[in-house]
Structure 1
Amino acid sequence: MAFEKIQELLGDKADYLLNHQSKTFDKGLLHTPSPDFVDKIFVQTNRNPQVLRNLSALYNHGRLAGTGYISILPIDQDIEHTAGASFAKNPMYFDPENIVRLAIEGGCSAVATTFGNLGMVARKYAHKIPFLVKINHNELLTYPTKYNQIMFGSVDDAWNLGAAAVGATIYFGSEESGRQIIEVSKAFERAHELGMATVLWCYTRNNDFKKDGINYETAADITGQANHIGVTIQADIIKQKMPDVNGGFTTINFSKSDPLMYSQMASDHPIDLCRYQVANCYMGRAGLINSGGESKGEGDLANSVMNAVINKRAGGSGLILGRRAFQRPFEDGIKFLNSIQDVYLAKEIDLA
C-alpha cells in the first residue's frame, strides 16, 4: 500500500498524526525497533541463547522480517468470546489449519492461538511459522459471567508442540490479579528456562475503572503501569490496548500519581499517550504491540491504519490484529493484514 493510500485512509487526521512532533520527553531516550533489535537489547539480558534464537525467529519472519517490527495474528477469541460468536461470519476458522494458513499467507511474524488449535496441526506447521501458544484464557460458560484468566495447559506442553513463544493475559486491577501475576510470572520463568519468548496481554479489568460514561481501563496512566508490571515479570513483548484517555488514577482516585505524568510525560495527543505506554516498557526495551480491537465493519481498515501510525510514531513495535482479519473472507483478511504491515514498511512514517 503506497504512502498516498495511507494518507487517504487517515483522512482529515493525516496531518495531525503524520506531522506531530512529541515534546513529552526526548525521543533519544527510547529503544526503538531496528534490524538489530534482538542483538541490541536482548544479548545483554539474562535470556538464554535459545530464547534469543526464538526471539530472532519472531523478528525475522513474514513481511516485516528484519525491520524490528512484528505483526502477529491472534486467534484465541474462540475461547475468550465463544467460538460461535467469533467464527459465525467465517466458519472456516473452526478448522485450526485455516488459522495458521491465514498467518502464513498474511505474512505475519507469528500465529498466536490456543493449545488445541496449534496442537492439532503442530507437525505440519511448527517449522513454517513461529507458534505463540496462549496458555491462559477467560471462559464464558460460567453463569453469571465472571472475568478470570485461568491456565489451560502447561508451558512444557507448549514447548513440546514446537512453540517459539508463550503468551498469557493478566487482568490487572481485578480481584484475581494477584493470583494471575504469580501464575504467569512462574510460567514465564519456565518458558525462559526452556528457551521460549514471552508475550503478556496487559489488560486492566475493573468495573470501578468506569466513571461518568468514560472507561479508564484504557487510560494511559493505568495501562502504562500495567505494562510496567508486565516487564517486571520479564515479558519480552507487551500487548496492550490503544490508550484513548488519561487521568485514570486521578479521576478514580486510587493508586499514586504525579502531576508531571499528565503535564510533561504525556499530552492529550494519541501518539503521546501511546508513547507513555512505550516508556513503561523499559523505554521500548520490551516491544509494545497494540491490539486491534473488535471488527466494526467498513471503518476497520482506516481505524487500524490510524492505530498503526500511532504505535509506530510513538516508538511501538507493531499491531496484533485478529478479528478484523479473520472475520473477513480469507483473501480479504490477507490484504487487511498486509495493509497494516505496509505502515511499518513505509519509510515516510518516522518516530514523532
Structure 2
Amino acid sequence: MNEKLEQLKAKIMPGGRSMILAYDQGFEHGPRDLLEHPESASFQYILDIAQRGRFTGIVAHAGLAEKYQAEILASEVPLILKLNGTSELYTKEDPYSPQLYSVSDALELGATAVGYTVYSGSKYEDDMQREFARIIREAHGQGIPVIGWMYPRGKSLFDRRSASKTLKLALEEQEATNLAIDETPSIVAYGARIGLELGADIVKVKYTGSVESFRWVVRAAHPTRVVMSGGPMTKTDEEFLAKIEEVLSAGAAGIAVGRNVWQRQDPLVISEKIHRVIFGS
C-alpha cells in the first residue's frame, strides 16, 4: 500500500466522503458563467468560499494555482490541479482536451491531487485515454491521487446506425427517460468503468436521474469512488440537495460542484447545506 497516496486521498475524501469546489469553468466555458455574479471572477473569492464552506478540495488550472499559491497554502484547502483543458470557442463534434500540465507541475504547486477530463466516444478518445493512463502511473508513483472527469462525448454517441451495444441500450434509456444521451445510465457507467480500468482513484460523472440507475454507475466503478458533477445551476437549493441525497444513497462519495455554489446569491448558505447533507451535523 502506498501510504502517501492513502493519506492524500483521505484529505480530499475524509471518512470516505468528498465535497469538492470546482473552478475550472473559466477555461472550459469562458467568463460567461461569471457574468451574473461578477465577484465570482476572483479566485480569492472562490478560495474563501472553499475555506469557509469546509470543502475538501478546490479545482483550478495551473495559472491560478501559481498566482495564488501562497493563499491556497494558507487556506489549507487541498488543491486539485486540473492537468488538461479546452475552450468552447471552437465547436467540435469530437472534442479533445489536451494535457497542458504535468504531475511535476502539480507537485511544484503543492497540489494534493490531480484531475483530467476524458471524452470517451470522441474520435480522439485514444489520445486522451493514453495521456490519462500515463498521468495516473506518474501520479501514483509520486503518491498523488487522481480524479477523472469521465464525460463520454462525441458525434458517435448520436449515431443511430452504430453497432455499439452500449449505445443501443443508451438510446433505449433515452427514449424511456428523456435524459440526454450522455446522462443515460449505460453511457455514464461506461465512462466510470473506463476510469476504474485506467486506475483513477475518483471519477466525476453526470447524474443519471435516479438512485437505482446511479447505483449501477457506482457499482461499475467500484472500488474507484464516484462523485457527482454539479452541472448547471438548479432553480432551487432543494432541487440540488435532493440530487446529492440520491447519489449518496446510491453509494457515491459526494460531489464536485462549481456553479451550483458560486453562482448563488449566498454561496456560504448553500455550502453549509451541502456539508450537512454529505457529512451530517
Which residue pairs with 1:70 in the alignment? 18
More divergent stretch after superposition (205-214 vs 159-168): 205-214
Provide Cα deviations, 1:114-140, integer angstroms capped at 9, x if missing partner.
111111111232251110011111212
The question of whether the paired residues in 1 share the 8 Å contact of 2:94 and 2:123 is answered with: no
Change (3 A) 1:144 1:206: closer
The question of whether the paired residues in 1 share the 8 Å contact of 2:94 and 2:153 is answered with: no
Are residues 1:87 and 2:34 paired?
yes
Q: Percent identity?
A: 23
Which residue pairs with 1:53 in the alignment? 7
The question of whether the paired residues in 2 share the 8 Å contact of 1:140 and 1:146 is answered with: no
More divergent stretch after superposition (96-105 vs 167-176): 96-105
The question of whether the paired residues in 1 share the 8 Å contact of 2:93 and 2:155 is answered with: no
Matched to 1:289, the amino acid is V
1:207 deviates by: 3.4
Which residue pairs with 1:40 in the alignment? none
1:287 deviates by: 1.3
Runs of 4+ in 1 over 4 A off after TM superposition: 143-146, 210-214
Which residue pairs with 1:137 in the alignment? 85
Which residue pairs with 2:45 in the alignment? 98
Change (3 A) 1:321 1:196: same
Match runs of 1:2-21 below 5 Å:
none
Which residue pairs with 1:124 in the alignment? 71
Are residues 1:228 and 2:193 paired?
yes
Which residue pairs with 1:276 in the alignment? 216
Q: Structure 2: which 5+ residue stretches go unaligned? A: 159-170
Q: Structure 1: which 5+ residue stretches go unaligned? A: 1-42, 61-66, 245-269, 348-352
- Select which of 194, 208, 215 maps to 1:243: 208
1:325 deviates by: 0.8
In the alignment, the residues of structure 2 paired with residue 93 and residue 122 of structure 1 have an alpha-carbon distance, to the nearest angstrom, of: 18
1:145 deviates by: 7.7
Which residue pairs with 1:148 in the alignment? 96
The question of whether the paired residues in 1 share the 8 Å contact of 2:147 and 2:204 is answered with: yes
Which residue pairs with 1:310 in the alignment? 246
Higher relative contact order (CA 8 A, sep 6+): 1
Corresponding residue pairs, total:
263
Which residue pairs with 1:159 in the alignment? 107
TM-score under structure 1 length normalisation: 0.70
Matched to 2:197, the amino acid is T
The question of whether the paired residues in 2 share the 8 Å contact of 1:308 and 1:318 is answered with: yes
The question of whether the paired residues in 2 share the 8 Å contact of 1:300 and 1:324 is answered with: no
SS in 2 for 1:340: helix
TM-score under structure 2 length normalisation: 0.87
